[in-house]
Amino acid sequence: MNSRYFGRFDPSRAEKLQILDHEGRLNEELRPDLPDDRVRKLYERMVVMRVADQTALTLQREGRLGTYAPFYGQEACQASSAFLGPQDWLVPSYRETGALFMRGVPLSLLYRYWMGDERGMSLPDSTRILPVEIVVGAQPLHAVGLSWSLKLKGEKAAAVAYFGDGASSQGDVHEAMNFAGVFKTPTVFVCENNQFAISLPRKQQTAAESIAQRAAGYGFAGLLIDGNDLFAVAGAMVEALEACRGGGGPFLIEMLTYRYGPHTSSDDPTKYRTAEEVESQKPFDPLLRLRRYLESKGLWTDADEAAALEAGRLEAERAITAAEAMAPPSPMDIFSHTRKSAPAYVERQKAELADHLQRGGGHA
């Protein structure tokens, strides 16, 4: 593999790929093929992403959404899904609302999902996205299974699994990476290291210098990057995906970021970290540095920022209106979104429920 990023930085020494620093200064030598017009468009979508995320948290507090996992501060990491090709699979955890949005899932469906309606994850068969995985660390196994099937079928495609630093301590993630290394599956493992496994800080999870260095033990390449740097995210993702499609995978990308909000809306982060710590991370905000870069190029103004925020507010407002206007799901839907073809015993249960409802059994 002719690598521009992988192999250049040693994750065992915590060497980190950074192309755009927090002041908005760009290292042109390391710049990926990411033209400024696309950077501006991605920034606009990241602004919408943040507004939508904060709106969801507000809606939860109002009782209009269920438990919600915010991603405020991780927008550059989540924008990585924008670099997947249509042939690639996205395999998300519960915190990838932004990645799903960037992949094209309508915001109204994402809100509906967080209302507890499984139809929010009922996507067209042509959409290469697996449903959100709630079990911590289980989704890398699914991604490896998908990518192994892609390899066996000769498809030039990859599966991308997202998980957090906490999930990296789960046995499922070890098994997934071990299998991927042995069978050379076209899998990109994306670890969004937001510094906390719920309340447990990273330094209490592992004594390793980085999570990315673990890849060497499984026989493939790992890279530690500044996850708040959209250019580093783009460069690492595109390189890994192209190599995977060409038979050179798997890869592990650790995106170093920070979770500004709670683990979920049920969490109280003040119990395990100080307000001063959170404030100390604000200068490294992924949106702030990208805005500074665009401003330095004469591509962004205060008026543009105000317009983008208003566009985000309106998009989120329309999405929640559409989500709340959907009719309640039918009890029969419990049979609709799990299997393509159900075994006989499930068909019998389905018939029994249909009969019960027809006889006036209500919602069983």
Q: Is 174 considered catalytic here?
A: no
CA distance linking residue 233 with residue 168, whole number of Å: 19
**Of the residues 245, 263, 289, 291, which is catalytic?**
263
**Of the residues 50, 214, 245, 259, which is catalytic?**
259
Backbone angles phi, psi at 222, to 5 degrees: -130, 155
CA distance linking residue 275 with residue 281, whole number of Å: 10
Tokens of 186: 């076209």
**Of the residues 272, 292, 313, 356, which is catalytic?**
272
Residue type, 102: M
Cis peptide before 250 (omega within 30 of 0): yes
> Do the strands 200-201 and 221-226 form a parallel or antiparallel pair, or are they unpaired?
unpaired
Backbone angles phi, psi at 72, to 5 degrees: -50, 120
Closest CA to 93 of 146, 140, 134: 134
Backbone angles phi, psi at 121, to 5 degrees: -110, 15
Tokens of 229: 């740097």
CA distance linking residue 161 with residue 172, whole number of Å: 12
How many helices, marked H, and strands, marked E, lie in the chain? 12, 7
Which residues face 200 on adjacent strands? 197
Edge to edge, the sheet with strand 187-193 lists 89-91, 159-164, 187-193, 251-256, 221-226
Which residues face 17 on adjacent strands? 225
CA distance linking residue 138 with residue 144, whole number of Å: 11
CA distance linking residue 255 with residue 232, whole number of Å: 9
Q: Is 356 considered catalytic here?
A: no
Q: Is 94 considered catalytic here?
A: no
For the four alpha carbons of 273, 68, 205 and 259, in that order, the dihedral sign comes to negative
What Rg do the C-alpha atoms of the chain give, in angstroms?
A: 21
Catalytically active residues are 259, 263, 272
